[in-house]
Structures are given as structure tokens and as C-alpha cells.
Structure 1
């Protein structure tokens, strides 16, 4: 994104939402011109952005997570046992210094070790920030150890067990969503099991990376009909690719004795990029509220699972989701039955590279509702073959209230 877009967004947030309690910052600060990046440039972007956020939101806690573009080269995050010239210490040591403008000194050890940390925000409420580059399948350093290279998951279990003993509720933040295809299968499976075990402790998860407006559901591994958790994937300020810039405001069950710390509702705000370019002035507006747009009684996992099932059967509901997924982009592509199956499967996939477990049944329902079962496929394929044969002489081909994600 151009710096002026980021500047205007931050100014808009500060003036429009003066009552925000804290900010979740899900990573990816540097521009995505990956082969032009250097360590020095990325560190400069990090320092300047931290300074800008501190000035724009004085006194408001900010909880950052590391994206995959902060390294140079991109996606290159060596495990802690790699030292000397190839070490990632050049980045993590600066992260420790910069992040501690918002975080306590107690996080220094784990930030310098692996760029992850745990913070008690207030009594009974904890935020855990994970470095999702240790599941990033484009991080070739994981060829050395892809199971738990920084012992991050081992540490994560310890933190969640301590939180359970203390009666704390936990929000997890990170960059790459655990169910995304960019997350390694073995890491994602282990993470999924951890969320299953601590479903009563982890009440929300927040990620970025995709640039789209979406979510991922987690299910009981022993009862796949029971949704147990949600990973919210917030929109990005970057318009890449063919998107409007956006950010997300979350409303969370707040400070009271029996607080669940569950997300009650969320709003997506966007800038109409076409009009901003046309009139040379950006206007930000609320695109939708999750509860009111989809008429769901709550954002509990079971309710969003019901919504996903409704999308599969009701084309109007899916079309609404698809428009929001693209942040109301006027150049979003059309979405056929295969596209619909892929996106709905994404919503059910909190575990990467495991689509058959939870997608086959709902995909067959979509096929039935759109008349694209195997009989229709054979018939349509035969009809197409005949029409092609008949048209050979003239045949031509045309090939056609809280989270901000920076990337």
C-alpha cells in the first residue's frame, strides 16, 4: 500500500473509534516487492511503523504478531539453533526492542528466541502471539525440522495449561491462519489438537495473511458435527490483489465477573479505492456488521457453523459472503460451483491440507443444489464435445473493536 493510504487509515481509525481498548496487529509491514528488500530496509519500515502507531494511538495497548514479509529474504526464518551469519537474530533482537514499547520486559526471552510471547492483559484475560512462520511451508529452513523447530507449540501448551489452572481466557493472534494451505500439515494438525484440548480456554483466534475477509472453524476431533472454535481472518489495508483496503473492529465480551471474552460481533470498514482514485480523496465506511448482515444470534462457533451450512444451500447468503470476502471489490471475479465449494471448504478448514475430512459432505450438497453432480458433469461434458465438433470451422479460444491486518 502507498504510505498515504496507511496514514489516512490510521487517522480515520483514531478519529472514528476513539474508544478502542487495544489493537491487534497481525503483521506484514514491508511492501511486497520481495526481491528489492534488504534487512536494513525492513528494519527501517518496522521502526517507522512502530513510531507512527505509538504517536497515533497514545496510551492504547498494541499487541503485534510477526508476518512472513518481515524477513529478508522473504519467508526466511531460521530456527533458533541456526547461528552466525544465517541467524535471524538481526530481526528478533530489534523486534524485542520495538515491541517492548507496548509489551512488558517479561516477553524479551521468548521474542528473542522465536518472536512469540504471552501477556496478561488484565486479570483473567491473556493474549498469546504466535510466530506462524514456523508453520510456513515457504520457509525452507523448516526442512531441518518442521515439527516444532523453535519448541513454540511446546511452549504454547505450557502457557495454555497455566492459563487453565489460573482460570484465564486466552486470545491467540498470529499471521498465517493455521488452516491455510501455506501452513505445514504436521504443524497445523498439532495446533488443531491443542485448540481442541483447550477449547474452554482459547475463546478467539485472530490472523491475517490472506488479505481477504473470512474465518476458519475448528471442530471436535471426536465429534466432527460440533464446532468448538473460530479463527477470525481480518482484511488487509493492502489492495493486493483487486481489493479495497480495509480493517476490522471487534466487539468482545468485556470486564465483568463471568466474562467469556468471546467475540460478540465484528465490523469490517473499507475504503472505496475506485472513488478515492477518481476524486483524489479516500472515504472510509462500514461495509457490514457480522451479526446484522447475516442475522446470526451470536458469533459462537456453532452459530457460524450453521451459517456455513446455510451458505451451501442458499445462494443469496453465499453471494453476500462472497461480496464481503472481496471487500466489495467492483472487479471481483464471478464464482461458479467449484469456487463456491472451495470457499465454503476454507471456512470449515481450521486444519490445513485436510479438506476431505470436513468438505466432502458439504461439497456434495452444493453439487446437488447446483446440478453439477457426476451425471450432470458427464452430460454437460458430452454436450460440450458435440458443440465443439459442430463448431470446428469457426472455433476460437479466449483466455481470459480491534484488529488491523497490514498484509
Structure 2
């Protein structure tokens, strides 16, 4: 950070306040130097229909795993409340339990602790055995632990390689597509413009590029799988053609991350990724392809720059008919969000939750069924384990159970944008439905038992319908549409 400030005399106090500290209520008025440049978006009307119909083809099952947060230094036992209070300042659990009985919390702990080796290894094994019919895996970032003060380049490599190897071993015949998370850097949240493999950031980028290639080659979807296409000067994002008519775009959401201090140095460098995205989507449209977009941080999360979210939303609206699904992580919530054009939903982003129980949530993952004729999501199942129950006996494998099937749980005819919008409409009229959604959102962890105020319930709905964090227009619509008591 010192080097960034030292080399860039033009950085103003307003820039610092608006970028790294914007999410905690600081001013949002960066200098003109920091404001986003427009992205050139094709002004052709989006195609009314991009047909990829292939009759009599079986659906494709995809495992969506996110936010592993592997902690090799986890220590079983139980911490006192006083101990936990002190250790929250370290961004993770204490690892110095008051009660050092290794029988307690063997599989993990709710109290700001990440995924121990026992939970990681067993979970991957059970996923692979239970869902042997899955064809590929989406792994959307945050491989390493939350203890940011412990990480450096060497520990980042060591821990990431362990997770990657375990995943490749478990899913031995399945390709794995990986998206970088904000913790997947040697300095938390930092991701600079790539200055070559000899730079500090260049080493991290080269490391993940190498392993992304290995993960992709872990299995085959087709007889002749396509190669990953990396942009010439890109930083951690890429695209690959999965099947003849399906393309996956993997974004690096670290670039527009609020706590990426490198944005103070080069405020516009995230525009490069968005312009690349537009070109990829434009070509996909010409090639009659459908697209899945993977990114660690969901586009409506408060930790992304508003400028990025606004430009990204414009791109999604333009290519609404080829972007059939988005997949994210980061929040540790089991949730989804919709992108609207006026009052019409045009895209959906599915958040896979987290394998880590940090904080006060049960581990989970998704099984997504994609129709082979148009690659839309036709079914989504969330599987979770009760960590408290699992910890009662370390000698028995944790019981992963189906937490919910999206269509069955909410009585939806399908998972079309219209059906999901209908679910949102129903929430504004049915308070109990919001409470059910909240329990699943926090994965029936410790927070599920706590009551929600009317304002919090409205916020739950608001988080679904906003592309930019707490967009006042969409949130105002939610408040006006609510028919249950708001007082």
C-alpha cells in the first residue's frame, strides 16, 4: 500500500475514502481520474432467439462448490466465549481452544472457523460418490483460509495445491472450472495489473493459470475438449467452449473489489476485463452459443465498485438472450439474484453458499441440472450437513442431506426468469415465505433461529432484485409491494 501511494502523487483523500472504505460509509466521490470509462457495447439489438436445440439429449449435471476456505492449522476443541471474542479480531477462529478435547468440534466450528482437513477430505469424497453422474465442477473461489495475516505466497501455494489435488482426486474424471476469489491472493484482496511473471502479482497469476489448466484437463466433456482461451494481457479471467453451443466465461472479480488498493494506482484497469467480456459475448452471439458466467463475487454485492456493477449490468442486459446463467460465491449465503430491465427479469445469478462453516452457517454445495438443448438451469438442489450433529461423533462420517430442491420447496413450475420473479412477488405478499427463504439462505445454521425484523425481511427481498447493491429504486419497489405488516 505504501508503494502504491508513494508512486502515485495524484491519489487524493477522496479517492482513498471512496475506494477501499466506501462500503463502511465513507464518501463516494472519487476524483475524475478514478471514475469508470464507458465500455463499447454493440448497439445491435440482441437476437430475439438464439437456437441451440438438440432433441433427445440428456440434461447435464454440474456440481457447484464455492468458498472452501481450507484451514490446515485448525485445532479441534472448544473455545470459551471470552476466547472467541478476542479471536474475531484475527479474522478467524483462535486455534487455541480452552477445552482441548479433540473429540469436540472435530469436523469444524461455527465460530468464525474455516474448513479443517477432516471436513474438506470427507466432503469431497462424499460429493464425488453421491453425484457420480455429474459431468463437471464449477469451483468459484476462496480456496484458502480467512486468516489473512498468516498468508504469504508460499503458504498460498501450498494450501491451494492441497485443495486442488484433493478435488482432482475426488472428481477424477470431471473437468473443474476455477474462478479466483478475493482470498486467493498472497495479500488479501489485492490484484494488480499483470506486469510479467517476475512481479509479485505476476507470480500469483502464473501459479493460478497453471492450476486452472490442470483442473480443466482433469476430465473430458467431449472427445476433443477445447483449450482455455486467455486474453493476451488479462489478469485471471478466461473463456472456454464446453460443448458445441455452450461457452463458459470466468471473470476475476478481484479486479473491481473495493479493497483492491491497486485501483488507486490504475483506476480504469478493470475496464479492460469488461471490454474483453463484451467482445467474447458478441462473438458467442454470432456463433449461436449460450453462455454461463462464473465469478467469485456476485454482481450485486456491496464489495464491488458501483462503476463496475453499472457497466456489467449494461453488458448483461445487452446479451440477455445468450447469458443463460451466472454462478457466484463470496457471501457464504445460499441465495440467488435477478437482473432487471425496467420490470422485466433478464438474468439470474446463483450463489453456491460455502463449504466453510464460517460464520455460523452449515456447509453446503449445489447440484445444478442444465438442459442440454438450451443450457438453462432446469433444477437446483442444495445439499448441506448439520455441523452440530456431525460433531457429536467424530468416528461417523457427516451426513450430507438434501436441504431443498428449488422448484419443489417453493412450488415453482420451473426455474425460468418468470418463475423466479413470481417467487419474489409472492414473498412481498407472504411473510412466512420470506422466513423460509432466510432459513435456507443461512443454511439452517445458528443464525436461522434468530428472528428477523420487518426491515430485515424487506432487505432479504431487496438483495434478490438489485444488480447494484441496495439500488434505492428496486428496494423502494419492494417496500411498496409488501402487503404484510411492516411496522
Closer/same/farther in 2, CA of residues 92 and 195 from structure 1, 3 Å limit = same
TM-score by length of 1: 0.85
CA deviation digits over 1:179-220, x for unaligned, max 9?
A: 000111000100000000000110000000000100110011
Corresponding residue number in structure 1 for 2:80: none
Partner Cα separation in structure 1 for residue 258 and residue 275 of structure 2: 20
Ranges in structure 2 where 5+ consecutive residues have no aligned partner: 1-114, 218-225
Does residue 1:297 correspond to 2:417, yes or no? no
Per the TM alignment, residue 103 of structure 1 is displaced from its structure 2 partner at its CA by 3.4
Corresponding residue number in structure 1 for 2:163: 49
Where do 1:169-184 residues align within 5 Å? Answer: 169-184=290-305
CA deviation digits over 1:34-61, x for unaligned, max 9?
A: 1111111011112122211111111211
Corresponding residue number in structure 1 for 2:346: 228
- For residue 89 of structure 1, the aligned residue among 182, 186, 202 is 202
Corresponding residue number in structure 1 for 2:246: 125
CA deviation digits over 1:110-166, x for unaligned, max 9?
A: 397311110000100011100011121111111233444361111101110110000
Does residue 1:211 correspond to 2:346, yes or no? no
Say what the alpha-carbon RMSD is for the aligned residues.
1.8
Where do 1:274-289 residues align within 5 Å? Answer: 274-280=388-394, 281=396, 282-289=398-405
TM-score by length of 2: 0.72
SS in 2 for 1:113: coil
Per the TM alignment, residue 101 of structure 1 is displaced from its structure 2 partner at its CA by 1.4
Corresponding residue number in structure 1 for 2:382: 268
Contact kept, 8 Å, 2:455 with 2:486, in 1: the verdict is: no
Contact kept, 8 Å, 2:256 with 2:270, in 1: the verdict is: no
SS in 2 for 1:100: helix
Contact kept, 8 Å, 2:164 with 2:215, in 1: the verdict is: no
- For residue 135 of structure 2, the aligned residue among 11, 14, 21 is 21
Corresponding residue number in structure 2 for 1:7: 121
Partner Cα separation in structure 2 for residue 216 and residue 160 of structure 1: 21
Corresponding residue number in structure 1 for 2:214: 101
Corresponding residue number in structure 2 for 1:394: none
Partner Cα separation in structure 2 for residue 56 and residue 342 of structure 1: 38
Partner Cα separation in structure 2 for residue 210 and residue 303 of structure 1: 24
Closer/same/farther in 2, CA of residues 83 and 17 from structure 1, 3 Å limit = closer
Corresponding residue number in structure 1 for 2:180: 66
Ranges in structure 1 where 5+ consecutive residues have no aligned partner: 373-407
Deviates more, 1:301-310 or 1:285-294: 301-310
Contact kept, 8 Å, 1:146 with 1:186, in 2: the verdict is: no
Contact kept, 8 Å, 1:65 with 1:129, in 2: the verdict is: yes
- The structure whose residues are more often helix, as a share, is 1
CA deviation digits over 1:85-130, x for unaligned, max 9?
A: 5x41111111121111133795374397311110000100011100
SS in 1 for 2:391: helix
